Amino acid sequence: RVFDLLNPASAAGTGAANGTFGGSGDDAMTGLRLRWDAVRGGFFVENLFEFECASAEEVLQHYAKGVRQKQVAATSMNAQSSRSHTILSVTVAHRVAMDVGAAVTREVVSTLSLVDLAGSERGASHAADTKAGAERFKEAVNINQSLFVLRRVIAALSRRERRGEKDDDSQHIPYRESK
C-alpha cells in the first residue's frame, strides 16, 4: 500500500506510533493508487500531495514532517528501523532569460528522488513466539520480498539501459510483482 506522509488526512490516525494511517477500520488502510501515465511514459501516485517551495528551508520542513509520520519500530538490530519504504522526490525548476530584458525564458527541470528502504533483518527461530514477534516476522518477510522485487526491477532496467533499449517493450520489467 502507498500512503502520503504529507497528507493530513493520512496522518489523522495514530500514524507511525502503531502503523495505522487515516483513522481506523479497513478504509483507513487502503492507501493511494499507483497509476501508469501513457503520455509521460511512467508511473505516478494518484492524489499525492505536492508542495511548491521557494527555499531549501521549506523543503526541509516538509521532509521533517514526513519523517515524523514514517513507520518505524524497534528491532533486535536497530532501535528505530524503517518498517516501510519512503520516497522523497524534489523537482527543481531553473528559469533563465534567453536575452537581457527578454520575456522568453529557458527552463531546466531536474528531479532528485531520495529513497529510504525499509530495514531488513533475518528472522530468529524465536521471533514468532509472541504476537509482537509474529507481526515483526511477517513484516520482515514482506520487506524482504519487496526488496527482492526491487532488485529484479533495477537489474532489468540496467540490462535494458546497457543494451540501449530504452523504448523496447519486449523485455518485461517486473514492477507489479510485489504484493
pLDDT along the chain (179 residues), means of 10: 83 44 49 87 86 93 88 73 81 84 83 80 58 75 80 80 65 67
Please state the length of the chain: 179
What is the C-alpha separation between 136 and 122, in angstroms, rounded? Answer: 11
Which residue from 134, 118, 115 is spatially nearest to 77, judged by alpha carbons?
118
Q: Measured in whole angstroms, how far is the alpha carbon of residue 128 from the centre of its chain?
A: 28
- Segment 34-41 long-range contacts (CB within 8 Å, at least 24 positions apart): 34/2
pTM of the model: 0.60
